[in-house]
Structure 1
C-alpha cells in the first residue's frame, strides 16, 4: 500500500531546492556582510567593543570567494562558457563608481585640511587605491620598516578592496584554464579538477602566510598571496555545492541532517564571536589566527544553504540586518575617511559623543552613495527591470560610456595624487637645501 506524503516513513526527509537554483541574494550572506562591516566599524570607532573586529575583512574574503566562484560555475553550467570580459564589466560597474566617489572626496579633503608635510603619504596611497594596489603600497612601502614616520591615511582600508580586485582579476582566468584542461585531458571532470587545484592553492597560500608572518608581519598581512586561501575556502565550498547540485535536481536533507546544520550554524556563530575577543589587534592575522573565523564563515554558509535554521530566522531576516548587509560596501568605503578627516577639522581626537554622530554620518553617506551612485550606474533602468529585461543597444552604449567615465575619473584621481605628492616632495627638497640638508617642515 502506498503511503501518504505525511506518513511516518517521510517524516525524516525534507526536500529543498538546489543551492544553485536559489535566489541570488541569500539572507544569511547579507547577514554575514552586516556582521562583518559592523565588526570593522566597531573596531575602528570603539575598539574595546570589538578588539578583533578587523576579522570582518576575513569574513568578506570568504563570502567573495564563495559568491564569485558560484556565479562563474552557474554561467558555465548554463552557457557552456565563462565570458571574462562580461564578468570584468559587471564587477567594474558594481565596485568602481562608489570607490571613486570616496577617493575623489579624499583628494579634495587632503588638499583642504591635511598639513602639507603629510601629503606625500596621503596622495601616494590614494593613487595606489585608485589602481587597486593599496595592499602592496602598504606591505612594501618604505614606512613599513619605520612605522614611527608613517602617517595613518584615510584610504588604509582600501588594502582589502585591492586584494579583492586582484582576486577578481585572476580567479576567472584560473577557472577557465582549469575547466579547459579538465575537459580536454581529464574526461570532463571539471568539478574534481577545480577542487584539486583550488585546494592545492589554498594550502600553499596558508602555508606561505604562516611562514611569512614570522619574518615580515606587514607583508604577510597585506599580501595577496597570503590572503588567497581565505577566498579559496569560499571557492571550495561553492564547487562542492555545485557538484552536489549536479548529482540531484533537488537537495534531500534528513531531519537529523537539519539538526546537525543548526548546531553547526550556532557553533560557527559562537566561534566568530569568540575570535573577535580572543584575537587581539597587535597580532598580525595572516595565518593561524584567521583560520577559525574563516572556516566558521564557510560553515555558516554551508549550514544555511538549505534554509536558515528556524532559531536564527528572526535575526537573519530582520529588516535592519538585511539593510546593513545591503549597504555594507558603501559603509566600509566611507567609514575610515570620515573617522580620519574629522580630527584634522576639529583639531582634537573624536570623543564618544562625536563618534556616535560620525556613525550616523557614515550611514547617511553610505545610503546616499548606494541610492544615487551605485544602483543608477550599475542598473540604469532600476533594479526590478534590470533583472528581467535584456539590455538594449542604448543600454549597452550607456554601459560603455559608464566604463569610459570611470576610466577618466581613475586617471584624474591618480593624476591629482601624483601632483599633490610631487608638490610636497618638491617643497621638502627646497627646504632641505635651505637648511643645509636637514628637512624642516612646519604647518
Structure 2
C-alpha cells in the first residue's frame, strides 16, 4: 500500500489515491455494523467499497509495474535484477502479512475456529483457482496483488531471452497485454462453465475473489504505467479528461447494476466477463490525475501521509482482527441507531490505533532495514 519508492520520491496524489481506497473499503465494512438498515445510501457505499479494492489493485500494478518496466528496459536486465526486485517486494509485503496471518491463526485456535488448509495462506494460494476459503477473508486481495509480481518478472526474463533485438518497451507491452487477455479468457471460460444462475454470494467468492479470474486488475495498472512512459505529454495534459471519463464509467456501472437492475441472473455475461475489467479501467483512468498531483498544503498533506503510511496495516487488521471479533463478542442486532454510530467510532478508533502501532513498531523498522540493504548493495 506504500509505494515501492524512497520517501523523498513519494507523490502526494498517489498517497491520496491509496487513502481514498482504504476509506472506501472501511466505509463498506462499516455497513456490517448497520446490517438491517438498507437504503440507497447503503447501496452506494457498498458499491464504493467494491471500487476501493479495484483502486488498490490498479495502483499496486502501476507502482510495481513501473519498477519492473524500468529494470526491464535497462540494458543490464538479468536474473540478479529480478532477484533484487523480488527481495525488495517480499521485504515490503511479507513481514506484516505473515505476522497478521499468524495472529489470526492463534485467535482462531483460541476461539475454537477450524481453519482448513492453513498452509495455503503462507503461499497466497487460498484463492488461487477455487473459491476463497472463509478464514482471514480479506486476504483474498493479497493473492491477486502479489502472485503477478512473481509471474511477471520471470516471464520477462524468458521473453527477453527469446525475443532479442525487439524494442524492450514494445516487448513489455506485448507480454503484459497477452497476460491481460489470458485473464479475460479465463473469465469467458468461467462464464461458459457456469451457465446456471449463480447467487451474488457464489459469484463473489467463485469469480470476483479468485486469482485466475482477477489478475487482469493488477495488469491494468501495469499497462497504464506503460502508457505514461510512452505518451507522457498526453498523460499530463489530459489528466482531467481521463479522470472525468473514469468517474463517468464508474457512475455508469453503478447505475447499470444498482438502478437499472442489470442483474446477474439476466445478464451473466456482463457480470462474469465485462463488469470487473470495466471497474478496473475506471479506477486506472484516475491515475493521470493522481500521479500528476505532486504536492499539497500541510493541512492536507499530514493526514493523507499518516493514513497512507498505515493503510497497509489497516487493510490487514480492520476486518478479521477488529470488526469480526467485535461483532462476535459485542453483537449489534439490538442496538439503537445512535449506539451503532458510537460502535462505529469505537471500531474505527481501535483499527487506526492498532494500525499505527503495527506500522510504527514493526512495519516501519523493517522498511528502514530494507532501505539500508538497498543502499549498501545487499538488496
Compute the TM-score of the two structures, normalised by the length of structure 1.
0.66
Query: What are the equivalent positions in structure 2 for 1:260-279 lying under 5 Å apart?
Result: 260-269=238-247, 271-272=249-250, 275=253, 279=257
- Separation in 2 of the partners of 1:323 and 1:278? 36
Instruction: Give 2:228's match in structure 1, choosing from 228, 238, 241.
Output: 241
Question: 2:53 aligns to what?
Answer: 57
Distance 1:127 1:26, change over 3 A: same
Tell me if 1:124 matches 2:116: yes
CA RMSD of aligned residues (A): 3.5
CA offset digits 1:351-393 (Å, max 9, x no partner): 4421221111111111111111111122238x7xx49x8227x
- Separation in 2 of the partners of 1:347 and 1:127? 31
Question: 1:390 aligns to what?
Answer: 375
Tell me if 1:289 matches 2:272: no
Instruction: Give 2:302's match in structure 1, choosing from 310, 319, 323.
Output: 319
Tell me if 1:346 matches 2:330: yes
Distance 1:75 1:196, change over 3 A: closer
- Separation in 2 of the partners of 1:277 and 1:361? 34
- Separation in 2 of the partners of 1:315 and 1:293? 32
Query: What are the equivalent positions in structure 2 for 1:23-422 lying under 5 Å apart?
Result: 24-46=9-31, 48=42, 50-52=45-47, 53-78=49-74, 80-82=76-78, 83-112=81-110, 114=111, 116=112, 119-120=113-114, 123-124=115-116, 126-136=118-128, 139=131, 153=135, 155-182=136-163, 184=164, 187-213=165-191, 215-216=193-194, 217=203, 218-244=205-231, 258=237, 260-269=238-247, 271-272=249-250, 275=253, 279=257, 287-305=273-291, 307-308=292-293, 318-337=301-320, 338-346=322-330, 351-380=340-369, 386=372, 390-391=375-376
Distance 1:261 1:163, change over 3 A: closer
Q: How many residues are matched? A: 338
Do the aligned residues in 2 keep the contact of 1:98 with 1:330 (CA within 8 Å)?
yes
- Separation in 1 of the partners of 2:253 and 2:129? 28
- 1:364 is paired with a residue whose SS is helix
Question: 2:36 aligns to what?
Answer: none
Distance 1:140 1:377, change over 3 A: closer
Distance 1:294 1:347, change over 3 A: closer
- Separation in 2 of the partners of 1:125 and 1:357? 33
Once the two structures are TM-superposed, the CA of residue 210 in structure 1 deviates from its matched residue by 4.4
Once the two structures are TM-superposed, the CA of residue 315 in structure 1 deviates from its matched residue by 11
Distance 1:140 1:277, change over 3 A: same
Compute the TM-score of the two structures, normalised by the length of structure 2.
0.76
Distance 1:193 1:164, change over 3 A: same
Task: List alignment gaps of at least 5 residues for structure 2.
Answer: 33-41, 195-202
Distance 1:252 1:352, change over 3 A: closer
- 1:225 is paired with a residue whose SS is helix
Do the aligned residues in 2 keep the contact of 1:210 with 1:288 (CA within 8 Å)?
no
Once the two structures are TM-superposed, the CA of residue 95 in structure 1 deviates from its matched residue by 0.9
- Separation in 1 of the partners of 2:346 and 2:144? 31
Do the aligned residues in 1 keep the contact of 2:128 with 2:210 (CA within 8 Å)?
yes
Task: List alignment gaps of at least 5 residues for structure 1.
Answer: 1-19, 142-151, 245-250, 400-443
CA offset digits 1:28-83 (Å, max 9, x no partner): 22222111111111111126161111222222111122211210222344562151
Distance 1:209 1:159, change over 3 A: same
Do the aligned residues in 1 keep the contact of 2:220 with 2:284 (CA within 8 Å)?
yes
